[in-house]
Structure 1
């Protein structure tokens, strides 16, 4: 795993493709990101859902904050060790990460996630939001959600969040895929009483 992290950090700056090879360059990184998002169910059983999800998120360039801690974890090799289940993910910041729909099974076992930030995530799409909205544990715990500059998100994805009954705050910014943002937001607020939605979509 350490070697894969080095590959991700080091090879991209060194690999400067000619214009004719840009297609294969994108294909390579798409393949590598898909590898990072492959779910290892045996690993989840072995080390627990929070540790396994932490490894997935950091592998993809995101960071996590654990319950009872102020510090964000963004170094894969610096993940804390300790008794199984000691560190519970409370917040996820996926800014500019490569998390994909395929990897969202890692979220199934998380019981304490209160905040998620999806910012400039090129692989985040409606299917990802729909997947989040169907995770029972997340439905019971998520209170804050930010979706920023995710060009593949549409009204359908935002409307699917209506199952997140604990959601208190939703921030939406720079989402060109939203065609009817006012109606979408008002519908969501009707479904989730008390939800505060902040829009910055112009």
Structure 2
């Protein structure tokens, strides 16, 4: 009986599930905060790299084959040397409030948003509104992002260079065929691949 009382007392001291979720949500929001002074000091590619890696994503630089995923191993050197060419945000905590980091990136050709719980329609709308990405982004994957709906996908029509779009496991997308048809009409070079579920 004494052991049960001690265990109950210990369990009652642990934060509730809601408290733990709130803490992680708060921490992720801190990781996504944009420091505009930092962007000015180190340039958009370095600042975006720091943001993405801090949030658990990976980046690949133009002219390099290796993915950079270790925040402490970020390359140093001339600010203009390392330009982000690809972003893999698989299972990362990137969220809308951090997307201002994408401004000024002119070499991004590929973005993967896979199992990102904070990705929602405003994130896709923001990507689509950034002029640099409209010109450079050619490949996008949106997979298992439950908060994405048809509205977010339709915003992608602004990405004039988009040639490949892979979609899978998007329960919020209700009219997938119609949405894909509209996108392909707006972007004739676009090839849309989907997992049949």
Fold shared, TM-score > 0.5 on shorter chain? yes
Provide the rounded CA distance (Å) in 2 between the counterparts of 1:129 and 1:96: 16
Which of structure 1's runs of 4+ aligned residues deviate more than 4 A?
A: 16-20
Residue of structure 1 in register with 2:47 after alignment: 52
- How large is the Cα RMSD of the aligned pairs? 1.4
CA radius of gyration, larger in:
2
Q: Determine if the alignment matches structure 1 residue 110 to structure 2 residue 105.
A: yes
Say if 1:17 and 1:25, in contact at 8 Å, map to a contact too: no
Say if 1:101 and 1:128, in contact at 8 Å, map to a contact too: yes
Change (3 A) 1:17 1:99: farther
Residue of structure 2 in register with 1:143 after alignment: 138
Query: How many equivalent residue pairs?
Result: 187
Residue of structure 1 in register with 2:86 after alignment: 91
Residue of structure 1 in register with 2:25 after alignment: 30
Change (3 A) 1:17 1:157: farther
Q: Determine if the alignment matches structure 1 residue 62 to structure 2 residue 57.
A: yes
Residue of structure 2 in register with 1:82 after alignment: 77
Provide the rounded CA distance (Å) in 2 between the counterparts of 1:17 and 1:126: 38
Residue of structure 2 in register with 1:4 after alignment: none
TM-score normalised by structure 2 residue count: 0.92
Q: Determine if the alignment matches structure 1 residue 169 to structure 2 residue 164.
A: yes
- 5 Å-filtered alignment, 1:148-163, equals 148-163=143-158
TM-score normalised by structure 1 residue count: 0.90
Change (3 A) 1:70 1:39: same
